[in-house]
Amino acid sequence: VHSVGEHVKMFVKCGIVLLTLAQAYNGSPLLRISSDTDDIDNRVIEGAHNERSTKVTVNDIFISVKTSGKFHQSRLTPILDTWFSLAPSSTWIFSDTSDPDVTRRTEGHLIKTECPSDHSRTSLCCKMEAELTTFLTSDRSWFCHLDDDNYLNVPALVKMLSSYSHKEEWYLGKASISAPLEMLDRSMLPEERKVSFLFGTGGAGFCLSRPLVERMGELVNNFAMTGDTIRLPDDVTVGYIAEVLMGVPLTQVETLHSHLEPLRRVDRDMLGEQITLSYSTYEDGEKNVVGLEGIDLERDPTTFYTLHCELYPEVAKKCDLFQQR
C-alpha cells in the first residue's frame, strides 16, 4: 500500500515526464530518418570531411553491458575472459544481482540495479535508465550500450566513433526492421498522434553522444516511466525519444550485428572491420554464428573465445583450446 507521500511523489514525476514530452514535441520535428548505410571505411572518409570530428580514445567511451544474474556464468564470463580486457576501465556491467567474483574481476564496475530479474519491458527500461543516469555522472563523451550476447571489437568501435564529433548530437546504431515503426503515440493523452521512427536494436549495440543524452533531461531520469507510458521496450524507447522527441535521426552503422541477422555472412576477411557480433540458435536447432570454419561450439558456444583469438592472438588467452584446426 502506497502512502499519501508516495502517491504525491509519483504524481509529480508523471507531471514532469508529460511536461518534458510536451516541450519536446513543440520544439522538434516528428521524424528525420538517415539513409546512411555506408561501411566503416566510408564513414572514416565521411568523418574527414567533417571538420568537427575528433579523435576518440577508449577513455572517452562509456561502454555499458546489460545482463542478469542468471547469465553471469554463461554470458558474462566469456565477455570478461575476452574483449573486456581491451577496455576494463571503460566498461560497466549492469545487472540485477550482486556477484563478488564479477565485482573483483571488473574492479568495481558491476552496477547492481534495483530492477526485476525478468525480461519484461519494465525490467529492460529500468536497467536502461540506470545505464543512462550512471553515464551522466561520468565525464565520458560517448555512451555505448551492449547486450550480454555481444562481442565488442573495441578498436573498431573507437575508429568508428572518431568519425563523429562528440560535441554534436548523434544516435548511432542499426535497425532490425526494414521500415520505420509506426504507432499511435499516447503520451500526450487525450490527444493521440501517429508517429513513425527507426530504432537501433539493443542486440547490435548503439551509441549516443553526450549532448544528446544531456538534452534528454528528465526523460533520462524517468526513462522507465516513459517506456511504460508508450508501452515499448528499452531500445525502442531510446529510438522514440531520440527520433520523435529530440529530432535526432538514427545513423545506421552496418558493422554492428545482432543475433537477429544471419551472422554466417561475416567471414574471416571481414572480421577486423566489424564492431559487434553475436550468436543465437534457430528454431530448427541450427547455430547462427559467424562464418569461421572449425568453431568448436561445444567448447565455445558463444564463439567469443574463437573471435578474440582470431582478432587479438597477442593478448588472447588459452587460444590453443579454441583456435581452429
Query: Which residues are catalytically annotated?
Result: 235
Euclidean distance between CA atoms 128 and 107, whole angstroms: 22
Question: How remote is the C-alpha of 186 from its chain's centroid?
Answer: 25
Residue ranges in 106-147 assigned as alpha helix (H): 121-136
Whole-angstrom distance, CA of residue 176 vs CA of residue 200: 7
Three cell numbers, residue 316: 588472447
Length of the chain: 325
Distance (Å, whole) CA 95 – CA 109: 11
93 within 8 A of 71, measured Cβ to Cβ: no
Cβ(122)–Cβ(116) below 8 Å = yes
Q: Helices 223-230 & 4-27, crossing angle to 10 degrees?
A: 80
Nearest to 82 by CA among 319, 325, 258: 319
**Integer Cα distance of 152 and 54 in angstroms:** 21
CA–CA gap between residue 322 and residue 40 (Å, rounded)? 28
Q: Read off the amino acid at residue 285.
A: G
Task: Give the amino acid at 93.
Answer: I
Q: Are 52 and 167 in contact (CB under 8 A)?
A: yes
